[in-house]
Chains A and B, each alone.
Chain A
Amino acid sequence: MNEPNTDVIQGTLDLLILKTLSLEPLHGFGIARRIEEVSRGVFKVNAGSLLVALKRLERAGSLDAEWRESPNARRAKYYTLTRSGRRQLEAEAADWKRRSGAVGRLLSTEG
């Protein structure tokens, strides 16, 4: 294990995407990059998983998508959080905090 594990914790990709999009609409690579930057490289997002997750969230109505010109004049698919996506984000974030708090407390218990 000379390289650190950069996999996204299972089940949290949706949360990360929703949170990222809650700040501003982004295209696929933009989301991946933002997650990497904000997590300071702890998480590297796999392209396939990300695009599949986006398709699923769009289908479920958490995201809206539209094709726009990107700043460098390419056609890019931009994702926006919908109202139901925002509700989902709140619920998942609260859930995550509750659970990670519990994990944190367990780890900080002196043995």
Chain B
Amino acid sequence: MAFLRPMMRGLAALLRRGVTERDERDEVRHYLEEAARVYEGRGLSREDAHAAAVRDAGNVTVVHEQVRTAGWEHGMETLMGDVHYAMRRLRHSPGFTLTSVITIALGIGASTAVFSAIKPVLLEPLPFPHASRLVTVSDVNAADAPLPVTLGGYTELRARSHSFEASAVGDAWQPSVTGNGDPERLIGQRITTDYFQVFGVAPTVGRGFTPGDDQPDAPRVVILSDRLARRRFGDARSVLGRTIDLNGDPYTVVGVMPPSFVNVVAPAAEVWAPLRERATGDFATRMWGHHYQMIARLAATSTVASARRELLAIGHTPIPTFARPPWASMERGELVRSMQDDVTGPVRPSLYAIIGAVLLLLVIAAVNVTNLLIARGAQRRAEFAMRVALGAGRGRLVRQLLTESVVLAIIGGALGFGVAAFGVQGLLAISPPGLPRIEAVRIDARVFLFALALTTLVGLIVGLIPAISATRADSSAGLQQAARRHAPGRASSRSALVVAEVALAVVLLVSAGLLYRSVRRLIAVPPGFDPSHVVTMQVVAAGHAFSSDAVRLQFFNDALDAARHVPGVVSAAFTSQLPLSGDDDGYGYEVQSIPASANGAGGSAVRYAVTPDYFATMHIALRAGRLIDRSDRVGGTEAIVINESMAQRLFGNKDPIGQRMRFGPENGSQHAWDYIVGVVGDVKHSSLAEAAPDAFYVASGQWDWVDNVQTLVVRTTGDPAALVPALKRAIWSINANQPIERERTMASFVSASEGSRRFALIVIETFAIVAFVLAAVGLYGVVSGGVIERLREIGIRSALGASPAEIVRAVVRRSLLLSGGGSLIGIVAAIAATRLLDSMLFGISHTDLATYAGVAALLVAMAVIAAWAPARRAAGVDPTTALRAE
């Protein structure tokens, strides 16, 4: 603790500097007075005594200074002095200060906002204990794409594998809650009882599920998220033990999860109940469908790779205890992925692109400020030379200049932090719907430290080159040059910097251009239906009242009739799932005429269980045969409509009409074959950028069950969104207890389906525009600086007969040369750098000529605009004034 006391006293002295200084002066004066008194005592006159005392003490000022500068706080005082001086200098040139501060604020603000958005995705582990050992496990389809597991498959994997310390599955569950407010459809999961143990998280209130909870006759229990408990039931404690009504059944709340818990693999889930079903040898059941999301915690001795090997081995060695249907054969092994990668994988490419863009922007901002500082240094050479002549060391000057640039950076950084706070809100507002870990995006202490470190770094970097170059030359040369304000070496380094700046801006502009053209092309891709004037909403028929297929079918038919009678409705239909909405419900199929082992057979297709007007409402084209119509009734021969590309692949030139197929639960059973009655055009299902998957359409009444959640699609005459309230009233007139959700226009689904590309586009576009403006400002600065430096030369040339047009051309030529050089370098760099964007581009390559040509044209325009005002000024130079000014 030996350092503590000097430190505290130093601090006290700093805080009370006035008092400390007075005391020190008093002490010195008192010393001299006492010394003088001694001399007086020896008989000297008052004046002589004082003089003698002062002589003894040496230089009084030096004594003062010695006392004052003892103690560590003196270093701080020098720094404060420097800061004070820097502030004064900056106040004297508000134009320079404002430009620099805004530039730095933009660079630091953008970087900080991006940092806080990517931090949870790329830099932080998932918020669970030993999160690196959490994995997801999926089946693999014929196209090597991941597919949720089946409950049967999971049961076998769990029994036979040793790679996992714990494993569990969750199945999407969307119960309607009634009582206690409006009916609402909750998003939740049915889970195996040890699901939360895999995450290593337990409810904060109440208990987790226990093995007995999933028995068929056990009391019904649920666990709620903290958010749901607060939103609907007051708070976590008061809801514990209460009975709530889900789908018409009473459930007892036995636990509430911690407020911080988010199931990252199903982020919207807020209610959980035990999964009670068991897989049996009967393959025609839900339990053998691919809709169970498997999570696991690796055992201490396992890795992702070893788990993958083990599961592949299990897949290759079926045993009689665990029979498998063909669609869950597991012969291709299982896909084991770290949960972190699985959750964040899809957005990584766009995030990397955004990080790259923001780094470019930051460098451009720094280069711009460096350039401004160099120019300023050139103007201040006389000042520096004078200070050197008066005895200031070069180190002292560099320190002073660095203080100035750091002060600039800190002002800019503080402003930038504000920019970042807005920026994060902006990023969140435009973020794509699937952005993972969005709940963890916020400005926190680490973000603040990041901004602080970045600010200091920027301050030092932008200050270093100008400080060294400004203090480089010896003082006499500086004093002489001061009269001429001409420094060729410095001008060339400024030119080099502006070329670099233009080059970096070109990379950003090209990236933005490529993304822009990709998104334009994507939006132009026909989705296979006409989204304009179509509004959609999910209608739910849940609870005991709707436990039979017949009742559900009746309800949806009645609801459809009611909807049709709403004024402004052209046509209306129900479908079990909606394209481009994120719905994903696919089933394995078999074809009677093609053996299951043949190429192209044994795939899976997305299922649309629809009412007859679906095709007319969505404007889906009929290619062959007929559509589903009113003759396809419950109990009749099952009629199937398939899409074009599936028909082409399965049947080639043969007529698909009349071919027989079986789907999902019907596969391999004694179920009668379904007949193909028609072929329709392809519809994009998960993304405009991907080929349409195989799809089949069946009448809602003819499928194995009547879906209890269906989407109403309505084509309208006017603004589709305006019809939502009337449509809801119409449906509620049939049954007021049924939730209606996800009311959105079809067009909004289409544009949201390209959300992550749009997100990257908007962000990079914004950065590119800022970069363009910064580069233009930088170019303007250098060109106009060049004109001022050459006023004399220009004066001579115009005295020698150069016309104003010639002078304008010379200035513009210089601007074009700088921006042209930067563009060339930038284009080469862009060809290399935009390779990283490839996965986000659509329909064009990263060397798309039109984009590059467009950017080049933009830069020529920029060069001319940046040169305009300086050129006008140069042309207006009066030779006599220019010459006399020197």
Contact = CB atoms under 8 A, between A and B. Distances in A.
Interface of A: 27-30, 32-33, 44, 46-49, 51-52, 55-56, 58-61, 67, 70, 72, 74-77
B596 interface: no
Given A28-B27, A59-B9, A47 B56 contact: yes
Interface stretch (B61-69, B327-335, B397-405, B794-802): B61-69
B55 to A, nearest CB: 11
Contact of A59 (B10, B26, B31, B62): B10
B34 A30 contact: yes
Contacts of B26: 75, 77
Contacts of A30: 34
B58 A74 contact: no
Contact of A72 (B6, B28, B37, B71): B37
B63 A59 contact: no
A47 B70 contact: no
Contacts of A74: 30, 33
A29 B66 contact: no
Contacts of A56: 70-71
Given A27-B34, A33-B38, A51-B31, 8 more contacts: A29-B30, A32-B31, A46-B58, A47-B31, A51-B63, A51-B66, A59-B9, A77-B26
Contacts of B23: 67, 77
Given A29-B35, A52-B67, A47 B6 contact: no
A52 B66 contact: yes
A65 B23 CA distance: 12
B268 interface: no
A48 B57 contact: yes
Interface of B: 2, 5-6, 9-10, 23, 26-28, 30-35, 37-38, 56-58, 62-63, 66-67, 70-71
B30 A27 contact: yes
A69 to B, nearest CB: 11
Contacts of B66: 48-49, 51-52
B5 A28 contact: no
Contacts of A44: 56
23 contacts: A27-B34, A28-B27, A29-B35, A30-B34, A32-B31, A32-B35, A33-B38, A44-B56, A46-B58, A47-B32, A47-B56, A49-B66, A52-B66, A52-B70, A56-B70, A59-B5, A60-B5, A60-B6, A74-B33, A75-B26, A75-B30, A77-B26, A77-B27
Contacts of A29: 30-31, 34-35
A55 B71 CA distance: 8
Contacts of B28: 47, 51
Contact of B30 (A49, A52, A58, A76): A76
Contacts of B34: 27, 29-30, 33, 70, 76
Closest 8 CB pairs of A and B: A29-B34, A47-B57, A48-B63, A48-B66, A59-B6, A52-B70, A29-B31, A51-B67
A75 B26 CA distance: 8
A24 B26 CA distance: 22
A91 B85 CA distance: 46
A8 B428 CA distance: 72
Given A29-B34, A46-B58, A51 B6 contact: no
Nearest to B29: A74
Contacts of B38: 33
Nearest to B8: A59
Contacts of A51: 27-28, 31, 63, 66-67
B23 to A, nearest CB: 7
Contacts of B58: 46-48
A61 B70 contact: no
B30 A48 contact: no
B34 to A, nearest CB: 4
A62 to B, nearest CB: 10
Nearest to B6: A59
Contacts of B10: 59
A4 to B, nearest CB: 16
A59 B23 CA distance: 15
A72 B30 CA distance: 11
A28 B63 contact: no
Given A29-B35, A47-B58, A48-B62, A55 B70 contact: yes
B70 to A, nearest CB: 5
A28 B32 CA distance: 10
Contacts of A72: 37
Given A46-B58, A47-B58, A61-B5, A28 B30 contact: yes
A74 B31 CA distance: 11
A77 B24 CA distance: 10
Nearest to B65: A48
Nearest to B36: A29
Contacts of A61: 5
Contacts of A67: 23
Contacts of B35: 29, 32, 47
Residue among B34, B63, B67 with the highest chain A CB neighbour number at 10 A? B34
Nearest to A44: B56
A44 B53 CA distance: 13
Nearest to B37: A72
Which of A27, A46, A48, A55 has the most chain B CB atoms inside 10 A of its CB? Answer: A48
A77 B27 CA distance: 7
B42 to A, nearest CB: 13
Nearest to A29: B34
Contacts of A33: 34, 38
Contacts of A55: 67, 70-71
Nearest to A67: B23
Contacts of A46: 57-58
A106 B257 CA distance: 83
Nearest to B70: A52
Nearest to B2: A60
Nearest to A55: B70
A17 B9 CA distance: 21
A52 B9 CA distance: 15
B414 to A, nearest CB: 34
Contacts of B32: 47
Contacts of B30: 27-29, 70, 74-77
B9 to A, nearest CB: 5
Contacts of A76: 27, 30, 34
Contacts of A70: 30, 34
A75 to B, nearest CB: 6
Nearest to B35: A29
B723 to A, nearest CB: 81
A61 to B, nearest CB: 5
A48 B204 CA distance: 68
Contacts of B56: 44, 47
Nearest to B34: A29
A59 B67 CA distance: 13
Contacts of B2: 60
